[in-house]
Copies of this chain bind each other. A is one copy, B any other.
Amino acid sequence: MSQFWSQLVHTLTPYVPGEQPKGDKLIKLNTNESPYPPSPSVQAAISAQLAADKLRLYPDPNADLLKSALAKTHQLSEQQVFVGNGSDEVLAHTFLALLKQDQAILFPDITYSFYPVYCGLYEIDYETVPLDNDFSINPDDYQQPNGGIIFPNPNAPTGRLLTLEAIETILKYNPNSVVIVDEAYIDFGGVSASGLINQYPNLLVVQTFSKSRALAGLRVGYALGHTDLIEALERVKNSFNSYPLDQLAIVGAVAALEDNDYFESCCQKIIKTRQTLTEFLQQQGFEVLPSAANFVFVRHPDYDAARLAKQLREQAIIVRHFNKPPIDQFLRITIGTDAQNTRLCDVIASLTVCRT
């Protein structure tokens, strides 16, 4: 604390990201990274850009190459695409550009824990909407006055998916509010709402290269929506930082996007491993929420979640535990490779044996 801080700084409760351990020995199932490397074409593209020896020059402030590739992938125009330094930066700009309104915005009470942090940063009023008892989002709960709505689909950290029909219901309830669908995990079993963009001028879809594209280390996220919504984001971005994406991130992301076969194959592998893990955990007596993401959210009637996380850690496996009711008895476990999954299952089986 200091006399030199702005008033705002005193009020902030910053986000705490999952641990990034410095070492290679751990099975890292705590921050929902892909267990598979990015497409080999990413390395090739970045190496080519390095060889062109242009790092002394600023990147294209508009990242046209990437916007063009994203527009093509999602069958939209480039003016319907916004890019940023990871979807966290895209979301931050979204809160200031579109969700800072007179009325309180709405998001689920169990959801991505960065949302209330953004509200703190930009002094945005919000109300949380309880999930149903089965931890699903109920579209009917979003038929109430609001300054905007945001939720992940699939939701985090539950992994539960809303159908496109349910999302359309929310959009139809709220023609005068922006509805932000945060699709960080959509490629692991859902259908993107991006296909609805040309019908709903109030819909913004946010996606990331950090999960299904296996590029968390490169920091690239994006938003898709009506040109008016994108223009708002551009105005904020260009009042904050002209060049959020470096040269290597731009070409790397484009290469990842263009290797669709590799992308599909990784997603399918992860979905299959998720199924194997789910069945195993259920056999072990865990409750496993239905997941359409690259993680499962699980609890065990007899097992304290914090203790289980600690025991896994002792066996060199890191998972995520949110020490906050009502989810403090859950663990969020990222889907790893089959080998990592086998090790995880073996360790859990041995712990369960110890318990009895």
Give the interface of A toward B (CB within 8 A): 1-9, 12-17, 20, 22, 28, 31, 33-38, 42-43, 46-47, 50, 53-61, 64, 85-86, 88-89, 92, 96-101, 117-118, 120-121, 176-178, 201-202, 210, 214-219, 226, 228-229, 231-232, 234-249, 252
Contact = CB atoms under 8 A, between A and B. Distances in A.
A61 B240 contact: no
Contact of A56 (B34, B47, B59, B249): B34
Nearest to A204: B4
Given A215-B55, A246-B246, A121 B240 contact: yes
A59 B101 contact: no
A218 B248 contact: yes
A38 B12 contact: no
12 contacts: A3-B176, A9-B235, A15-B242, A31-B58, A46-B50, A47-B47, A55-B214, A56-B217, A57-B216, A96-B121, A121-B236, A246-B249
* Interface of A (DSSP majority class): loop
A236 B240 CA distance: 13
Q: How many subunits of this chain does the assembly comprise?
A: 2
A97 B5 contact: yes
A84 to B, nearest CB: 9
B20 A57 contact: yes
Given A86-B241, A98-B4, A217 B246 contact: yes
Contacts of A46: 46, 50, 248
A266 to B, nearest CB: 10
A215 B20 contact: no
Contact of A217 (B57, B85, B235): B57
A116 to B, nearest CB: 10
B88 A4 contact: no
A46 B247 CA distance: 13
